[in-house]
Chain A
Amino acid sequence: MTTTTVAFNKLSSQKLSGQQLSNDVRMPAGQVWRAYWTEAKYEMLRACRAPAFAIPFFAMPIVFYVLVGIFLVGSMSKGDPHIIPTMFVNWATFGVMGPGMFGFGMFVATEREQGLLRLKRALPMPTSSYVLAKMAMTMMFAFIIMITLIVAAVFVGHAHLTAGQYALITLIDLLGSLLFCSIGLFIGTWASAKSAPAFVNLAYLPMMHLGGLFYPLPKSIQPVEFFSPAFYLNKLNLYVAGAQSMDGLAFGAGPTSHATPVLCIAVIIAVTLFFGLLATRRLKRLG
């Protein structure tokens, strides 16, 4: 008897249909966790296998941080030590924004439009597994980005932060990336697959440029930074790093100096919940 025949005979004896009465189909907690893990694992894998997604988000933060944050700004500031940790914090904020906003915004819009979300909702996928898997993917990307930035900051940028500061900034940025997941999810639940990248960029670019990440804003227009959620995450990490914002370094104390850590945390949580709840409501309505 050949191997194939044996395999087929084994299969023939298997039942295709479930035995148990489905009126009480319970799943052990271990199996439920396994389902969550499998979903997250494959979400991470598919994001890594999509070069148009993975390469820009892994490469851009480190390349720009080293070229602009370390070499260009370093030479322009003639070695001003105050700007070194600021650059690290700013490029870290930039780094963790992209995967959440684009990962949720584009993937959710596409999967919604192509019927995958509908299929997953019909299947017995554990509640929230879909969103949690994408959050895990975003945090994995954010973690790898942070590690590459820290390595560059330590060995090339000489940012002179303590291990504790690096760890705390990483933790804050990982949790802070959920803020961008929430905004991305909101866009993904409303926009079509074709328009999602445009809407994500419409939120992403002003948030970065008006958040004081790349250049200082004059005092007269600094209040606009309060409308950028990225500003609060960045400001919080500047406190941890004991560093000043670009505005502060260029123009001294201004309106944005009054954003306290408590205010930053409160705004980050509030904005995350606001867009998260709006998106969840929308997801429930999608049939």
Chain B
Amino acid sequence: MKHECLAELNGVSKRFGKVVALDGLNLQIRAGELFALLGQNGAGKTTAISLLLGLQPPDTGTALLFGRSPLEIAARRGIGVMMQEAALVSELRVREQIELVASYYPDAMMPEAAMQFTHTESLADRPYGKLSGGQKRQVQFALAICGRPRLLFLDEPTVGLDIQSRELMWSTLRRLVSEGAAIVLTTHYLEEAEALADRVAVLAKGRVIASGTVNEMRALVVRKQISCSSGLSVEQIRTWKEVQSVQRDHKGLQITAGNVEAVVRRLLDEDEDLQDLEIHRAGLAETFTELTQESAQ
């Protein structure tokens, strides 16, 4: 089933003076997917999102939101936004903040409903300026969803949240996606992207250097890691041709290899007392590090 494209950047470039922020970038965000946009600081994530939100025009190429220019208010009525660095008016109470943002949308939920979804009912009558960092993020999340958006932009949504609040936000995000909404997530917490994202794109120097599902991304980095307790020496193992690197730490031997199966077989053959054998596949974090390092070289 082909999902409707809700937002797209087509061949978009953007410069700030001599700095190239985006360099012919193409992105598509489809209904019913959680799309994670990853990249190191300065990779172009914020600029890409700014273009989709209509905050800046591209120098070349087109940015489209629901097939329209993001500058059109009608296009933006389908989106919800949570920005990392937006400080709301500190004198207004939580319920008032939600009522204000809800008034921008044609089919918004009541403030009470938005607060119940985000578990912020107990904060309803408190001035925003008196909330803790985590509570502020929860309120910003309530503002992002109160307009029943079909496309949600979230920038570092769980920074400062405790584990329970983070799980709650994740479950609300999963529910939104299951209802057909799309979510664009920018985050430095790669485990968050790994847990939530259907599709990931890694940006570097204003271009997409890799994109795909989390599994596809992890497959880009073929190496795996073996850890075990063994009497074999580091020097001895280093001579094996399948082994890329080996070291000993407080947990035992840490071996990185492309063909782990061959290494495990040989370890078991050569050391009858081998214990605590574990094999780890490269996570999104390792993939991300490797990809961005390659791109920087």
Give the interface of A toward B (CB within 8 A).
7-8, 11, 14-20, 22-28, 31, 34-35, 38-39, 42, 45-46, 49-50, 111, 114-116, 118-119, 121-127, 287
Contact = CB atoms under 8 A, between A and B. Distances in A.
B194 interface: no
A119 B86 contact: yes
Contacts of A25: 74-75, 77-78, 106
Contacts of A116: 86-89
B180 A123 contact: no
Contact of B67 (A18, A23, A27): A23
Interface in B89-113: 89, 91-92, 96, 99-101, 103-107, 109, 113
B134 interface: no
Given A115-B85, A121-B53, A122-B54, 19 more contacts: A14-B109, A17-B149, A22-B77, A22-B150, A26-B74, A27-B77, A27-B106, A34-B103, A35-B103, A35-B104, A42-B99, A46-B91, A49-B92, A111-B89, A116-B87, A122-B79, A124-B76, A124-B79, A127-B73
Nearest to A107: B89
A11 B106 CA distance: 19
B68 interface: yes
Interface of B: 6, 50, 53-56, 66-68, 73-79, 81, 83, 85-89, 91-92, 96, 99-101, 103-107, 109, 113, 116-117, 127, 145, 147-151, 153, 172, 175-176, 179-181
A211 B67 CA distance: 54
A11 B116 contact: yes
Nearest to B107: A18
Most buried by B among A15, A25, A26, A126: A25
A193 to B, nearest CB: 10
A114 B140 CA distance: 14
Given A24-B74, A25-B78, A124 B105 contact: yes
A34 B151 CA distance: 24
Contacts of B127: 49
A46 B86 CA distance: 17
Contacts of B89: 42, 46, 111, 116
A118 B46 CA distance: 12
B105 A16 contact: no
A7 B116 contact: yes
Contacts of A45: 91-92, 96
B130 to A, nearest CB: 12
21 contacts: A14-B109, A16-B109, A16-B148, A16-B175, A16-B179, A17-B179, A18-B147, A18-B150, A22-B6, A46-B91, A49-B92, A118-B55, A118-B86, A122-B54, A122-B153, A123-B101, A124-B76, A124-B105, A124-B147, A287-B50, A287-B56
Contacts of B106: 20, 25-28, 31
B183 to A, nearest CB: 10
Contacts of A287: 50, 55-56
B246 to A, nearest CB: 48
